[in-house]
Amino acid sequence: MRVFVRILSLLLGLALAAAGALLALEVGWTWARPVDGPLLVPWPAWRDRLAGLTWQDTEVRITAWVVAGAGLVLLLVALTARRKDVELLDPTPGVTVRTSPRSLARIVGTRVRAEENVSGASVTATARKVRVRARSGLESEEQLRPRLQEVVRTTLEDLPLTRRPRVSVVVDSPRDRS
Amino acid sequence: MKPPSVAALARSHRAERVVTALIGLLALLAGATALVVGQGWLGSFRAVRPVLDPIALDTLRNWQTYARVGAVVAGVLLLVLGLLLAARTLRPERHPDLALDRSVGSGLVVTASAIAEAIAVDAEQVDGVSRARATVVGDPEEPALRLSVWLHEGTRLKDVWRELDGSVLTRARESLGVDTLPTAVRVEMGTAERQRVR
């Protein structure tokens, strides 16, 4: 998303520059040579077209929707173009440490998979929440879940995180009583 | 202002994000206003006016010279601002060299890549670190360090950390002759198989 916002802002910058240049050129040209007609852009035709349209016309409405939609997309892209880092405590003043959510998920996943009777696990992690979905063939959810929750909690406590994420563990097991 | 160690985490995208957000907001408001006027919520008389209002055109004709000058000035301004934004977006991150000896007549400058290379090699020697990359970022007056370390599976971050800060960063500060070096560390844990002892 950060790459995307950079591309967008490059395109917007160039578009603004082009629009500004055309505006200055056309106005200047018409001022200097009033009878020669437009220089680069057929703006008299555009002016007549706009004068013929009212705010209620379908064309105007569609354009307005498109412009509003594009504006919303730009706004959303700009707002979501942030790094999703997981904060770790500063070990010394002047040093900032971060890790990635994927790294956190890897650590938790390895620990969970190393537990007994866990045949597989998938972990999604963010700075605020860690969600574990484990599979087991031998133990039921009631038995395994508290153990896994404890394991995940200990693993997270061992890391110098600034914020302790909430932990949610779900176990899929054929031994669960339906 | 962000502290220099936090700012060193990554290239700042603030200008790009702010401008894109502003233009997006303007477009959203313009589109919404056009729809509101068309619906007749701002008056049913206004809804049937043409988009290029003759009254507005008349006003412009009465103030023709001012309007023209204003338009040319606005055009030039947009051109300059647009180009500035494009240039800012295209600019790569600065990697300043560090001057160790600033006395007149002599000079000792360590290039950014030399520092980075040395620190990265040093960091890779630490037990538990499988890979390390360093970059010098910031300004020449306030240089900062960005250090990325990849740790072996099963390594405890706290153990590695003690050695990283105690030896690697301390050595870096000593050799550069600075008391503090704002550092941003990006840690990736559990990335490589722990190497078996042969």
Provide the CATH number for the domain around residue A153.
3.30.300.30
Residue B125 phi/psi, 5-degree rounding, is: -70, -20
What is the Cα–Cα distance from B142 to B187, expressed in whole angstroms? 23
Q: Token pair of B138, please? A: 């910031």
Interface of A with B in 113-152 (CB under 8 A): none
Per-residue pLDDT band at B195 (split at 50, 70, 90): low
Asked if residue A29 is part of any domain, the answer here is yes
Does residue A54 share a domain with residue A105?
no
Residue A100 phi/psi, 5-degree rounding, is: -95, 155
Mean pLDDT of chain B: 85
Q: Please tell me which of the candidates A2, A53, A97 has its beta carbon nearest to residue B51.
A: A53
pLDDT value of position B32:
92
| Residues B82, A9: C-beta atoms closer than 8 Å | no
User: Tens digits of per-residue pLDDT, B149-181?
Assistant: 999 888 888 888 888 888 888 888 888 778 888
The overall pTM is greater than 0.90: no
Structural domain containing residue A129: 97-172
Interface contact B90, partner A, CB < 8 A: yes
Which residues of chain B does CATH 3.30.70.1350 include?
Answer: 98-192
| Residues A99, B187: C-beta atoms closer than 8 Å | yes
- Amino acid at residue number B148: S
Asked if residue A88 is part of any domain, the answer here is no
In chain A, the number of structural domains is 2
Does residue A76 share a domain with residue A6?
yes
Expressed in angstroms, the distance from the first to the final Cα of chain B is 50
Domain stops at, among A45, A80, A115: A80
Q: Are A130 and A156 in contact (CB under 8 A)?
A: yes
What is the Cα–Cα distance from B63 to B69, expressed in whole angstroms? 10
Q: Which residue has the tokens 């990325």?
A: B148
Interface contact B19, partner A, CB < 8 A: yes
pLDDT value of position B196:
55
* Beta bridge partners of residue A167, listed in sequence order: A130
Asked if residue A86 is part of any domain, the answer here is no
Q: Which residue has the higher pLDDT, B188 or A34?
A: B188
Burial of B40 (0-12, 13-18, 19+ CB in 10 A): middle
ipTM: 0.78
Interface contact B82, partner A, CB < 8 A: yes
Q: Please work out, in degrees rounded to the nearest 5, the angle formed at the alpha carbon of residue A102 by the alpha carbons of A99 and A108.
A: 95
| Residues A55, B48: C-beta atoms closer than 8 Å | yes
Does the structural domain B98-192 have CATH classification 3.30.70.1350? yes
Looking at A23-27, A97-101, B126-130, B139-143, which range is the least confident one? B139-143
pLDDT value of position B73:
93
Does residue A65 share a domain with residue A29?
yes
Q: Running along chain A, 178 residues long, what does each successive block of 10 average in pLDDT?
A: 91 94 89 78 81 83 93 94 88 88 91 88 91 86 88 90 91 75
- Amino acid at residue number A176: D
